[in-house]
Structure 1
Amino acid sequence: MTASASVWTISHGELFLRLVLAVLMGGAVGIEREWHNHAAGFRTHILVCLGSTTIMLLSIYGFSQFVNETNVRIDPARIAAQVVSGIGFIGAGAILRNGSVISGLTTAASIWVVAAIGLCIGAGFEYAAYCCTALLLVSLLVLNKWEKYVMRNRRNQELTIQARNTPSALGQIVTTLVEEGLQIVKVKTVHDSANTKRDAEDASFLHMHFVLAVPHPTKLMMALERIRALEFVLGIESQVRSLDIGDRAIHPVQEARGKA
């Protein structure tokens, strides 16, 4: 085989080494996703990186016997280019939507980047693959903790309150939250008719869902103490969230207190 055609060939040892490298780099990213219990984890990232590497190897070296054919034009990027668009189908499977709450975007992006790493490995561009893997791990591990630290006081707080449906219930709770310096981002109320003998004398219950911008945790605690002391409040459930609560089912409130 001529020297000009040698660029279209690869030894079995080099091919195997690139496939192993794809497994290691894809697994390094996947183990981080698996550790944090995300939808696409260790094996998924390995398979994506390994598959992208194999497709790139096929695209470059799989048709070397046709290089010297006069009517054949070899394009090593033609098959591999389909990975860039095709990987979106797998990434979409990692994205979950619950009402207006969307999760899994980071995992979907990591799958897309792992596919790019696999293409680099298959093309013999290992330096770019090393750098990309290192930066990806820094983004997922280090920057994730840094983001949580910086945004710790700017996260939205979800608050669910169950109360007896009185005319002034919502107004008193809103007033209490505002007086304590909490900004109401979103509020949603749901009426629930009484269905037990103990609460048969009540016309209905009122479930109030708030998304609050909390400048400091102590302000929220003070507001909760004041709200808990209101006679019509039956229970409170709070949970830290960074996204909108959207339209989702109401869970039983915690810290519930029974009233005859």
Structure 2
Amino acid sequence: MTGLAAPLWDVQNGQGLRQLFELGLALLLSSLIGWERAAQQKSAGLRTHTLVGIASALMMEVSQHGFTTVLGMDNVSFDPSRVAAQIVSGIGFIGGGLIFVRRDAVRGLTTAATVWLTCAVGMACGGGLPVLALATTALHFLVVRGYPRLSARLVPGTATNTFEARLTYRTGTALLPRLMQICTRRGFRILQVKVERLPAHTDNAARVLLELDGTQDPAHLASELFEDEGVIDVEITAATDDE
């Protein structure tokens, strides 16, 4: 009974409250990172990053405090760093599932790296290193938000935009090749094309989804596409996958 009651008394002694604070900090910081990824419409968003951060913090707490009742026994030794090492290895399965190759373009690298960073933030919280966890979260926002702008200023023309252009146009006029030519002339690379024919009552219209990548402003492209008389509607949205 003594071994089972000890964790309850730890709450009154302050250790349990500290552990709850560390889990709460992991929840807050990982949610902030996940919110930023969700705002960018990435494949791994708020829930994924939050769960990774909380789970990493909990496993660190278990690594440090979950085996204290057996450490005093004879012939028993324990290395808390082994659990941390297994966390780092295990998160690779999630990160690897986010990376894929489409037409010689690697996607998901930044999202996978962010999940890895969120894991490290959770481990820092669970390991009793809140200052490092806070600093790393701040550095995350600096890198993912500030570095693209800095790169665009230092090396103009290198910052690329990946987005989706949904075009509704009238069929029967060989319009699609001309629209694609406008995209390439503007300096955009066409990654994917999906054509969907709309119902007959929509005046023989079709909808095409173009996934594009380039350094120019998508708004200028949308304006030029809409100038064609055969184009009914143009919608530009950010792509859901990451660089």
Q: In structure 1, how many angstroms separate the alpha carbons of the residues matched to 2:152 and 2:179?
A: 33
Residue 15 of structure 1 pairs with residue 19 of structure 2: yes
- SS of the residue corresponding to residue 27 of structure 1 reads helix
Whether the 8 Å contact between 1:95 and 1:103 is mirrored in structure 2 is yes
Alpha-carbon offset, residue 198 of structure 1: 8.3
Alpha-carbon offset, residue 34 of structure 1: 0.8
Residue 83 of structure 1, aligned match among 76, 87, 103: 87
Question: Which residue is equivalent to 2:62?
Answer: 58
Measured against aligned partners, the alpha-carbon deviations of 1:228-252 in whole angstroms (never above 9, x if no partner) come to: xxxxx7862316789x767x55766
Residue 76 of structure 2, aligned match among 66, 69, 72: 72
User: Structure 2-normalised TM-score?
Assistant: 0.63
- Per the alignment, do residues 236 and 256 of structure 1 end up closer, same or farther by CA in structure 2, a change over 3 Å counting? farther
Q: In structure 2, how many angstroms separate the alpha carbons of the residues matched to 1:235 and 1:29?
A: 36
Q: In structure 2, how many angstroms separate the alpha carbons of the residues matched to 1:17 and 1:100?
A: 45
Report 1:92-107 matches (<5 A): 92-107=96-111
Measured against aligned partners, the alpha-carbon deviations of 1:151-203 in whole angstroms (never above 9, x if no partner) come to: 44245799xxxxxxxxxxxxxxxxxxxxxxxxxxxxxxxxxxxxx9988xxxx
1:26 partner letter: S
Seq. identity, %:
32
Residue 123 of structure 2, aligned match among 103, 119, 134: 119
Q: In structure 1, how many angstroms separate the alpha carbons of the residues matched to 2:124 and 2:80?
A: 13
Question: Which residue is equivalent to 1:238?
Answer: 183
1:116 partner letter: A
Considering fraction of residues, name the structure with more helix: 2
For structure 1, the 5+ residue unaligned runs are: 2-8, 159-195, 200-206, 208-232
- SS of the residue corresponding to residue 68 of structure 1 reads coil
Larger RCO (CA within 8 A; separation ≥ 6): 2
Q: In structure 2, how many angstroms separate the alpha carbons of the residues matched to 1:92 and 1:241?
A: 31
Report 1:207-218 matches (<5 A): none
Q: In structure 2, how many angstroms separate the alpha carbons of the residues matched to 1:146 and 1:29?
A: 20
- SS of the residue corresponding to residue 237 of structure 1 reads helix
Residue 36 of structure 1, aligned match among 29, 37, 40: 40
Question: Which residue is equivalent to 2:220?
Answer: none
Aligned residues: CA RMSD? 3.5
Question: Which residue is equivalent to 1:110?
Answer: 114
Aligned residues: 182
Which structure is larger by alpha-carbon Rg, 1 or 2? Answer: 1
Alpha-carbon offset, residue 74 of structure 1: 1.4
Q: In structure 2, how many angstroms separate the alpha carbons of the residues matched to 1:141 and 1:69?
A: 51
For structure 2, the 5+ residue unaligned runs are: 3-9, 163-170, 196-207, 211-224, 231-243
- SS of the residue corresponding to residue 24 of structure 1 reads helix
Q: In structure 1, how many angstroms separate the alpha carbons of the residues matched to 2:118 and 2:173?
A: 57
Residue 136 of structure 1, aligned match among 133, 137, 140: 140
- Per the alignment, do residues 127 and 198 of structure 1 end up closer, same or farther by CA in structure 2, a change over 3 Å counting? closer
